[in-house]
Amino acid sequence: MNAFSFDPRLITPYDDIMTSAPDRDSTALRLLLSTVLDAAVAIDANGKVVGWNPAAEQTFGWSRAEALGQNLNDLIVPSRHQQAHAQGMHRYQQTGVAHVVNRRIEIEARAKSGREFPIELSITEAHDGSGAAFVGFMRDISGRIAMERRLRETQKLEAVGHLTGGIAHDFNNLLTVILGNAEVLAESLTDPELKPLAEMTLSAAERGAELTNRLLAFARRQPLNPKPRNANELVAAMQGLVRRTLPEGIDLEFNSDPDLGLIEIDAAELDSALLNLVVNARDAMRDEGKLVIETANAILDTDYALRYPEVVPGDYVMLSVTDTGTGMDSVIAERAFEPFFTTKPVGKGSGLGLSMVFGFTKQSGGHIEICSELGVGTQIKLYFPRLPIDQTAENEPSLEPQPPRGTENILIVEDNDLVLRHLKRQLVLLGYRVKTAMSGPEAMDIMQADDEVDLLLTDIVMPGGMNGTELADRARALRPSLKVLFTSGYTDNTIDRHGRLDPGVDLLRKPYTRLELSQKVREVLQRGFE
């Protein structure tokens, strides 16, 4: 914690004045208390207030006239601590020794309004002719404690993110094989007993892929492909799905700022984040209530950034989801973004919805804020940096319904044997001629011996002293016209900056379906020939 610095020199003038002019005690005491910016209170040996500066008036709500002559125990000490305070004063009266003098301690105090809050207290002993025994200097540290708590939570989430990112990466390699083979089996089998089993396997693999994607989103290891977009257009496209997600008893309202600025965002991931917020809100309202989705321009200033140190002051676009559900108390709200933390019954939620939203927002350079009150409802605000006004929005291309085919030569580089064999089989079935390698050096040997390679399809993280990025650089130096497509289960900053793909980089995320594989391969191969 930041130490409250008390300058003992402030007491020296007071002691000098008391020694030389005891008949001027009130003036001297007032002079002393007026020289400090923190709340300063003087009490006599019986605990009665004999000094109360303007900062004390502001901190505790009692005016000087109201405070003077009152017992400090009754004035600002919370009820549960009053007995201990009285015992301390009694010990001082009996022994003349005060154990809290010349120490800096943190205790709780109470304002006139009844609000209780933590303070940092420094006390000095200052005897004088009027009987004043102590002067205390106090600072409200509730804001500092809240900031430290948020910092600890952020550090904890960062640590958990590193762990979940690594686990999800390994799962994605396995799911790539399971998903692809289950897809082929479900399409080719005709046996009425075996076909449903293949379809069940495919469904389970898809759910597993969704789970790992949420883990990666929370861990900020999900490769994003952000483009300038208008959040109003994205929200409008989701209105039908949102309405179908809610029961009839929940009223739905959209409030959109017509002059909304653009944001650089991965549209698909924003859709997923919005849907997660809607589902959480629906479950909190229990089939009746009101849900409001709102967009607006916002400014997060330096005062706001002081409360949230990770925020960069500036212009933002705000997207909020507000419900009239059961709400959360402060303890639950502080843990709401932790992975696998949920208040829902067993089997009703994975505890990853808000975690995914949190990770995606942070990875997009944004900020997330949660406001909730028990019995009233919850509002979650997402803030994304607003782009300069000269930016224009981009629209997503529509997907082709059937897997496109080709006949080009593809070199696959993948260190996982299961994934390598699966990927080769899929591409051969799509008509391509395929060569394989399990490391960067092996791939370079093939490149130097064979000039008929149209596309390098490489994993990013590989053994052998050469990762996918280094391999691509060397291969392009050998053959400048070579097309490159990276594939990975997560981003490790080898091809992106802070989870955002560099311009001109193509990435196929694991796990992927045959349609996604075929479309991405054709997209990269045809670029420059259209």
- Of the candidates 370, 363, 410, the one whose C-alpha atom is nearest the C-alpha of residue 284 is 370
- Domains of the chain, CATH where assigned: 8-140 (3.30.450.20), 228-390 (3.30.565.10), 409-526 (3.40.50.2300)
What DSSP letter does each residue of 124-188 carry, written as one string?
A: EE---TT-EEEEEEEEE-HHHHHHHHHHHHHHHHHHHHHHHHHHHHHHHHHHHHHHHHHHHHHHH
Q: How confident is the model at residue 461 (pLDDT cuts 50, 70, 90)?
A: confident
| Separation CA 68–CA 50 (nearest Å) | 5
Residues 396/267, Cβ–Cβ less than 8 Å: yes
Question: In the predicted model, is pLDDT for residue 9 greater than 60?
Answer: no
Q: How do 227-230 and 262-265 pair as beta strands?
A: antiparallel
Q: What's the rounded Cα separation, in Å, for the pair 308 and 521? A: 43
Beta strand segments in 397-499, E: 409-413, 433-437, 455-459, 483-488, 496-497
pLDDT at 156: 62
Poorest-confidence range of 137-141, 145-149, 184-188, 235-239?
A: 145-149
Tokens of 423: 């990927």
**pLDDT digit string (tens) for 373-415?**
888 999 999 999 999 876 666 655 544 456 788 899 999 999 8
Higher pLDDT, 73 or 432: 432
What integer is the mean pLDDT of 296-313?
85
Number of other CB atoms surrounding residue 326 within 10 Å: 18
What gap in Å lies between CA 221 and CA 495, rounded to an integer?
Answer: 12
pTM of the model: 0.48
Using a pLDDT cut of 90, give the percent of the chain over it.
20
Measured between its terminal Cα atoms, the distance across the chain in Å is 61
Q: What is the pLDDT of residues 340-353, one digit of tens each?
A: 667 666 555 555 67
pLDDT of residue 263: 93
Model pLDDT, residue 501: 59
Mean pLDDT to the nearest integer, 426-455: 89
Give residue 382's pLDDT.
95
pLDDT (0 to 100) of residue 4: 30
Say if CB 175 and CB 212 are below 8 A apart. yes
pLDDT at 165: 60
Q: Are 387 and 223 in contact (CB under 8 A)?
A: no
Residue 436 has pLDDT above 90, yes or no: yes
Q: Specify the pairing of strand 377-385 against strand 367-373.
A: antiparallel
If you count them, how many residues does the chain have?
530
Least confident span in 171-185, 255-269, 292-306, 340-354: 340-354
Question: pLDDT-derived band of residue 294, with 50, 70 and 90 as boundaries?
Answer: very high
**Selection from 510, 504, 503, 508 nearest residue 521 by Cα:** 508
Q: How far apart are CA 70 and CA 213, in angstroms?
A: 62
Per DSSP, which regions of 266-345 are E strands?
289-300, 314-323
Q: Mean pLDDT, to the nearest integer, of 241-268?
A: 89
* CA pair distance 236, 255, nearest whole angstrom: 11
Whether pLDDT at 499 is above 90: no
